[in-house]
Amino acid sequence: MRNPLVVGSRVYLRALETNDAETDAAQANAETETFMYRGRAPASPLAFARWIEEDGKHPMPSEIHLAVCLRDGDRYIGAVSLHHVDYLNRTAETGSGLADGFRNQGFGTEAKMLLLEYAFDRLHLHAIHSHVFEHNTRSAAALRKQGYRYAGRRKWDDVKGGVYRDGLLFDLLREEWLAAREAWRATLPADVRGKGLGRDREPTP
Ligand SMILES: CC(C)(COP(=O)(O)OP(=O)(O)OC[C@H]1O[C@@H](n2cnc3c(N)ncnc32)[C@H](O)[C@@H]1OP(=O)(O)O)[C@@H](O)C(=O)NCCC(=O)NCCS
């Protein structure tokens, strides 16, 4: 592991590095999921590198993007994020995206559990919310598994394929996340369960 920030059983989180930009651009250009399609905006390593550089300049960032890496081999497979971090009211929105080929194998939920540990137990946030396009049913299923509760619908939120789509809102408190993490951990094989993730730590004072 290199520069790990939060460590799980199969994945760990670290700060993004400009070297990750090549992977980001390649993934963006190869994207096949229609809900991820962002029109004709160019996706170059240069643009991603610039975004990562700018991201690291703020001492109290309102956007925090963390690389998701496999413990086995250190490969960078995606990112999880805190958006609109409000340090006064202690709220933020979460986001996540894995490269095609790493989805639907539980990596996203594990990475999100680590992000939520970072958000609740290190940044001491109080409430988290998330926003999903209605037809991204996998993302909504993953959020529910992570403890998020459906909180409402935003009509005509985005256009995909010429059709206006609704957005679904979800929210999450620390106690709900802890309960979901326990339930999720119980589904893991015994040899994985105790490894790295869920150290049952109290939040730092
Ligand atoms: C969203 C994302 C980060 C989730 O991570 P992941 O590793 O794929 O998620 P998990 O494997 O932990 O969980 C996915 C769950 O959705 C379920 N699922 C899979 N396809 C589904 C579908 N089409 N409809 C409903 N549920 C679905 C899976 O069965 C699984 O639930 P289970 O573990 O109870 O069986 C990842 O899929 C991704 O990067 N997707 C593309 C980008 C994206 O959509 N980002 C979120 C934008 S809001």
Q: Is residue 204 part of a domain?
A: no
pLDDT value, residue 14: 97
Distance 117 CA to ligand 1 centre (A): 20
Q: Is residue 23 part of a domain?
A: yes
- Residue 131 is part of which domain span? 4-193
Q: Would you say residue 178 lies in a domain?
A: yes
Nearest CA to ligand 1 atom 41: 97
Q: Which residue has the tokens 């960032």?
A: 61
Full-model pTM: 0.93
Distance 99 CA to ligand 1 centre (A): 12
- Segment 40-98, tens digit of pLDDT: 677 899 999 999 999 889 889 999 999 999 999 999 999 999 999 999 999 999 999 99
Gap from CA of 40 to ligand 1 centroid (Å):
25
Percent helix / strand / coil, the chain, rounded to 5: 35, 30, 35
- Residue 73 falls inside a structural domain: yes
Q: What is the pLDDT of residue 200?
A: 46
The answer to whether residue 199 is domain-embedded is no
Tell me, what CATH number does 148's domain have? 3.40.630.30
| pLDDT at position 186 | 94
Does residue 200 belong to any structural domain of this protein? no
Chain-centroid distance of CA 22 in Å reads: 19
Indicate the top mutation candidate among 10, 104, 184 to test ligand 1's pocket, ranked by most ligand atoms within 8 A of CB.
Answer: 104
Q: Which residues of the chain have pLDDT under 50?
A: 198-202
Asked if the structure places residue 203 within a domain, the reply is no
In a domain, residue 167? The reply is: yes
Q: Which of ligand 1's atoms lies nearest the C-alpha of 105?
A: 11
Query: CA 160 to CA 162: how far, in whole Å?
Result: 5
Nearest CA to ligand 1 atom 43: 97
Beta strands in the chain (DSSP E): 4-7, 11-15, 64-70, 76-86, 91-98, 127-133, 149-160, 163-173
As beta bridge partners, residue 70 has: 11
Indicate which atom in ligand 1 lies nearest the CA of residue 141: 16
pLDDT score at 194? 65
Number of domains present in the structure of the chain: 1
